[in-house]
């Protein structure tokens, strides 16, 4: 996979910032706002929101993960990781 989508922990420090970053990397040209919750994040990973097609293979890299873990808390980041890893079409990379 040549396109790597990067979720950069340096670009957010709270949950709202996380969801804004997710919108930035997983959506494009939407004329409506996504939900800022874990269910919506799960849906965005599936695709079909302007960046990649539904269940099209993608690579997702979480840069500065340790910072995110400190900022968002282990429980939240563990839940996010579980969601990411549940998608077989997502190749997950951590930095």
The fourth-level CATH superfamily of domain 4-94 is Barstar-like (3.30.370.10)
Average pLDDT, the chain: 95
CA distance 58 to 3: 7
Q: What is the pTM of this model?
A: 0.94
The band of 14, judged by pLDDT with boundaries at 50, 70 and 90, is very high
- For the chain, the domains span 4-94
Instruction: State mean pLDDT over 24-45.
Output: 96
- pLDDT above 90 for 73: yes
pLDDT for 95 equals 78
Percent of the chain residues topping a pLDDT of 70: 98
CA distance 4 to 51: 11
């Amino acid at each position: 996979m040549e396109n790597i989508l990067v979720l950069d922990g340096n670009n957010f420090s709270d949950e709202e910032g996380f969801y804004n970053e997710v919108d930035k990397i997983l959506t494009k040209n939407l004329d409506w706002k996504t939900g800022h919750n874990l269910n919506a994040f799960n849906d965005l990973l599936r695709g079909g929101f302007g960046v990649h097609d539904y269940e099209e293979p993608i690579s997702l890299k979480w840069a500065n993960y340790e910072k995110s873990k400190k900022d968002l808390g282990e429980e939240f980041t563990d839940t996010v990781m579980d969601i990411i890893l549940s998608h077989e079409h997502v190749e997950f990379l951590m930095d």
